[in-house]
Amino acid sequence: MEQAIAKLIEAEHLPADYAEIVDNFWRPLARMIADRAGTQSPLLVGINGAQGSGKSTACLFLRYLLEERHGLKTVILSLDDLYATREEREDKARTIHPLFRTRGVPGTHDVALGMKLLKDLLAGKSVNLPRFDKSVDDRADAGVPFAGPVDVVLFEGWCVGAKPMPEDRLAEPINRLEAQEDQDAIWRRHINRELAQNYAKLFRMIDLLVMLKVSDFAQVRAYRQLQEEKLAARNPGGTALLDETALARFISHYERLTRFMLEEMPARADVTFALDNNQKPRSLPEILLPYS
């Protein structure tokens, strides 16, 4: 195992056998991305995966592999860092629906900012990458400067590449949150319109869509609980950390779209990794066999 990979595994508090995942799955994916970037540069790669599926971790290793093994300058942009500020979400909660106070669903991101950042990156410009502080539920004051040009942009997020649902599937609530707090379906219909309009423009920019597919929605809560524990360990004084009850309610905001993506996205994603209950890919997708 490369020393740099071992150090990255240690820094991310991952088990030592994560090196096998890097070798068996992320290296072939990096080779495929590098191959595509050889004919189309810069290349925008969308990385989709439910909360806790390991997409952010995968991106860290992909960036290392692309830069150190393939000589491709790579940047990671997280959809989470494009969340609207707390004040902006409060305004949307007052004017459209109270559930938009909670970050996460389409309609709670600054899509215009995302499009500008991606356009600038793909045009070879330097940018200031925003950062969202989940422990205080607001955008951080300072971003992170990134000097262009870039060869590969890894754009990761739980609903990256998502499509709107058929309208006739929005009528019936999918969980208690929708039944009790979105009885008129105003919130979920607005989310769907956002996906059909603003987010569709953003996601059309993606050149290669990769999905990390969890086994089912039940796994999302377990994964997200682990994320919350890590967040609390890093920032125990955070004011927006979630207890078990709050976390269950929070996850309910994501349920409808997550279930729909698990249903329809695998058939159209360029690469789909089916994950087991330990967040590990079950097998190498057929499209990556030539790169293994």
Residues in Cβ contact with 181 at an 8 Å cutoff, skipping those fewer than 6 apart: 98, 99, 187
The least confident of 24-33, 86-95, 150-159, 243-252 is 243-252
Q: Report pTM.
A: 0.92
Helix, strand, coil % (nearest 5) of the chain?
A: 50, 15, 35
3-275, superfamily in CATH? P-loop containing nucleotide triphosphate hydrolases (3.40.50.300)
Cα gap 253→255, rounded to integer Å: 6
Pairing of strands 271-274, 208-213: parallel
CA–CA distances in Å: residue 83 to residues 97, 101, 107, 130, 131: 17, 11, 9, 9, 9
The predicted pLDDT at position 242 comes to: 66
The predicted pLDDT at position 86 comes to: 95
- Nearest 10 degrees: Cα torsion 131, 135, 136, 137: 70
Cα gap 167→170, rounded to integer Å: 6
Model confidence at 236: pLDDT above 90: no
Domain layout of the chain by residue ranges = 3-275
Per-residue pLDDT tens over the stretch 146-198: 999 999 999 999 999 999 999 999 999 999 999 999 999 999 999 999 999 99
Cα gap 128→232, rounded to integer Å: 27
Q: What would the mean pLDDT of 24-34 be, rounded to a whole number?
A: 98
